[in-house]
């Protein structure tokens, strides 16, 4: 009996040992939790089952684990319209082999911590809205085979550390704002058909070290200099749309090369359906358009505007309430330091700052409410000089505000501040204070309310055709400005009659806000 009891104890101990070995690493679960926290909008609810209290991470959408279910090896969430940031804590997924976030709406920069994923074979962050330079730490991904960063807003030079990627077979960097020369040197002259395989005793650098590279696309950036001989085996289409000294591929004009890679252009040119962006250099300058083409564009704008108004009158009665911003988490007291990590005051250095006190006086102690939604209140105010303003105040308490939301707020404010057209709402400035917690935007006030109010509650049916055409053409001009006249183009979250404000003389102003729901 004694030996049998000892055997039972041995089995129990072995079971506990195996259970402990198969337990999912806490640091990886924490990393995935931070990833979810950094996502501000999840319209398809792909992260809705990411709940460590109900299930283990291996059962979450987009997660693949090892055979033993003790490590994450794939994080694959593509085409899900996720809007937010890439959390640097993903570096704790030490066994991750594939990181695929292709075709979302991710903003911010690529965290340098990604370079710590030594087992990563596939890095796909293509077709997002990422900005900033490619971190040199990417060159530490010694196992990577494929890198896709196409169709973002990446800037700066290519880091020479990319030449350290010995196993790299495919790299796609097209349709960004990268510049400078290619980090590649043969060390000596070689025929272009050697595909990166060298028989010389020279010392190649950069991409000339990538002997396995078979597919590369550097098109539609702002690279200059010449195409390295060691990359001569690639198709010339891989280099088109740049500023290179190459007669065999289509390059940008001198004007585009002189000002196209401006640091202020820190947003990618990506449409809302995540399709590849058409290079702007392929369009003719406006000055060269013939008169008949301009007339045709105006006529088409009038026709489209007419259809727009007809659709508003017949169908937009259902559009009386807009969805709120999804914030599926709350910040704990321990997140204070983490919150401050993602703020960037440089974004708002050119935006006028208002104090809460002066806005409180202008808006009559914030009693003059002219609109509201689950996420904001809208006040009418009058400044000391007599200027009428509309103040939009976000309805969030500090406990629900995160560093990711703060940086998103700042980026959207900076984007709104660059708009300047008679048929778009004009941002005058913002208010950011901590005590009490305040996030407000200040716009020009349109005294005649919204087009929706006139169509559904006023005397819209008595609008003269002259006034109707003025509104239609004004909307068309505003949309043309947002979509074609500024670079990068500005997309609005939702266009309906409630998004069109009317001035004293019934000139329309398209409301440009995307962050705020009114």
CA distance 90 to 111: 9
What integer pLDDT is reported at residue 266 of this predicted model? Answer: 39
Contact criterion met (CB below 8 Å) for 421 and 483: no
**Would you state the pLDDT for residue 140?**
93
Taking each helix axis from N to C end, the angle separating 465-480 and 291-315, rounded to the nearest 10 degrees, works out to 110
Question: What is the three-class DSSP state of 41?
Answer: strand
- Kindly report the number of other CB atoms within 10 A of residue 130's CB atom: 24
Q: pLDDT per residue over 338-368, tens digit each?
A: 344 344 556 677 889 999 999 999 998 888 8
Q: Greater confidence, 211 or 197?
A: 211
Confidence of residue 241 (pLDDT cuts 50, 70, 90): confident
Nearest-Å Rg of the Cα atoms of the chain is 27
Confidence of residue 276 (pLDDT cuts 50, 70, 90): very low
| Least confident range of 105-119, 263-277, 369-383 | 263-277
Per-residue pLDDT band for 458 (boundaries 50, 70, 90) equals low
At residue 460, the pLDDT reads 52
Distance between CA 471 and CA 502 in Å, rounded? 8
Average pLDDT over every residue of 271-299:
48
For the chain, the distance separating the N- and C-terminal CA atoms, rounded to the nearest angstrom, is: 76
Give the pLDDT confidence score for residue 413 in this predicted structure: 87
The DSSP result for 12-37, as a single string, is HHHHHHHHHHHSPPHHHHHHHHHHHH
Give the β-pairing of 205-206 and 153-157.
unpaired
Distances in whole angstroms, Cα of residue 69 to Cα of each of 56, 57, 65: 10, 9, 5
pLDDT band at 141 (very low <50, low <70, confident <90, very high): very high
pLDDT score, position 514 = 57
The confidence band for 61, taking pLDDT boundaries of 50, 70 and 90, is very high
Average pLDDT on 300-325 reads 55
- 330 by DSSP, 3-state: which? coil
Sheet holding 388-394, edge to edge: 369-373, 376-382, 388-394, 437-444, 427-434
Averaged confidence pLDDT in the chain: 76
Q: What is the largest CA-CA distance in the chain?
A: 103
How do residues 153-198 score in pLDDT, each as one tens digit?
A: 899 999 988 888 889 999 999 999 999 888 876 654 444 444 444 4
**Digit-coded pLDDT (tens) for 413-448:** 888 888 889 998 888 999 988 888 899 999 988 888
Does 54 score more than 90 pLDDT? no
Write a three-state SS string for 180-229. ECCCEECCCCCCHHHCCCCCCCCCCEEHHHCCCCCEEECCCCEEEECCCH
* Residues paired with 443 in a beta bridge: 390, 427
Q: Which of residues 387 and 256 earns the better pLDDT score?
A: 387
Q: What is the mean pLDDT of residues 471-477?
A: 91
Alpha-carbon distances, residue 333 vs 27, 327, 340, 404, 405 (angstroms): 20, 17, 13, 16, 16
Residue 478 has pLDDT above 60, yes or no: yes
Distances (CA, A) of 178 to 114, 218, 240, 243, 510: 20, 9, 13, 11, 32
How far out from the chain centre does Cα 379 lie? 29
Give me the pLDDT at residue 198, please.
40
Per-residue pLDDT at 199: 40
| Pick from 159, 157, 361, 357: nearest CA to 261 | 157
pTM, two decimals, is 0.53
Residue 16 has pLDDT above 50, yes or no: no
Taking residues 403-412, report their average pLDDT. 82
Task: Reduce the secondary structure of 230-257 to three states and give it as a string.
Answer: HHCCCCHHHCCCCEECCCCCCCCCHHHH
Q: What is the pLDDT of residue 17?
A: 38
Query: Closest Cα partner for 112 from 94, 133, 97, 126?
Result: 133
The reported pLDDT for the residue numbered 55 is 76
Mean pLDDT of 456-484: 81
């Amino acid at each position: 009996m004694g030996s049998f009891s000892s055997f039972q104890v041995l089995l129990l101990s072995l079971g506990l040992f195996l259970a402990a070995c198969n337990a999912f690493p806490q640091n990886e679960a924490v990393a995935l939790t931070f990833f979810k926290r950094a996502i501000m909008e999840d319209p398809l609810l792909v992260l809705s089952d990411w709940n460590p209290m109900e299930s283990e991470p291996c059962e979450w959408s987009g997660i693949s684990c090892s055979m033993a279910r003790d490590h994450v090896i794939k994080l694959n969430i593509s085409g899900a319209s996720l809007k937010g940031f890439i959390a640097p804590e993903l570096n704790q997924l030490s066994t991750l082999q594939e990181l695929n976030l292709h075709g979302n709406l991710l903003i911010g920069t690529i965290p340098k911590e990604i370079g710590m994923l030594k087992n990563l074979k596939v890095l796909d962050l293509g077709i997002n809205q990422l900005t900033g330079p490619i971190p040199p730490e990417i060159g530490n991904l010694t196992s990577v085979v494929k890198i896709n960063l196409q169709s973002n807003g990446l800037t700066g030079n290519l880091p020479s550390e990319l030449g350290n990627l010995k196993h790299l077979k495919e790299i796609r960097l097209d349709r960004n704002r990268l510049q400078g020369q290619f980090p590649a040197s043969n060390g000596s002259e070689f025929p272009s058909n050697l595909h990166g395989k060298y028989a010389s005793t020279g010392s190649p650098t950069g991409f000339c070290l990538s002997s396995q590279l078979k597919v590369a696309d550097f098109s539609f950036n702002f690279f200059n200099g010449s195409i390295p001989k060691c990359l001569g085996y690639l198709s010339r289409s891989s280099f088109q749309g740049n500023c290179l000294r190459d007669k065999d591929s289509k390059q940008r004009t001198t004007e585009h090369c002189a000002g196209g890679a401006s640091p202020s252009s820190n947003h990618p040119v990506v449409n809302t359906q995540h399709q590849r962006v058409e290079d702007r250099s392929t369009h003719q300058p406006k000055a060269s358009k013939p008169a008949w083409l301009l007339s045709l564009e105006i006529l088409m704008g009038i026709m489209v505007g007419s259809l727009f108004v007809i659709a508003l009158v017949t169908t937009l009665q259902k559009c009386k309430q807009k969805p709120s911003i999804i914030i599926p988490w709350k910040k704990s007291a321990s997140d204070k330091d983490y919150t401050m990590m993602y703020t960037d005051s440089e974004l708002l250095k050119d935006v006028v700052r208002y104090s809460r006190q002066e806005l409180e006086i202008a808006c009559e102690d914030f009693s003059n409410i002219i609109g509201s939604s689950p996420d904001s209140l809208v006040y009418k105010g009058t400044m000391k000089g007599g200027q009428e303003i509309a103040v939009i105040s976000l309805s969030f308490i500090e406990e629900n505000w995160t560093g990711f939301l703060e940086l998103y707020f700042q980026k959207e404010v900076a984007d709104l501040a660059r708009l300047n057209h008679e048929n778009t709402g004009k941002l005058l400035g913002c208010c950011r204070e901590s005590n009490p917690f305040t996030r407000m935007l200040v716009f020009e006030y349109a005294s005649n309310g919204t087009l929706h109010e006139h169509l559904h509650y006023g005397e819209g049916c008595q609008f003269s055709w002259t006034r109707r055409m003025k509104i239609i053409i004004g909307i068309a001009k505003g949309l043309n400005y947002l979509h074609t006249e500024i670079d990068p183009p500005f997309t609005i979250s939702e266009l309906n009659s409630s998004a069109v404000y009317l001035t004293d003389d019934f000139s329309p102003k398209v409301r440009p806000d995307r962050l705020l729901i009114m």
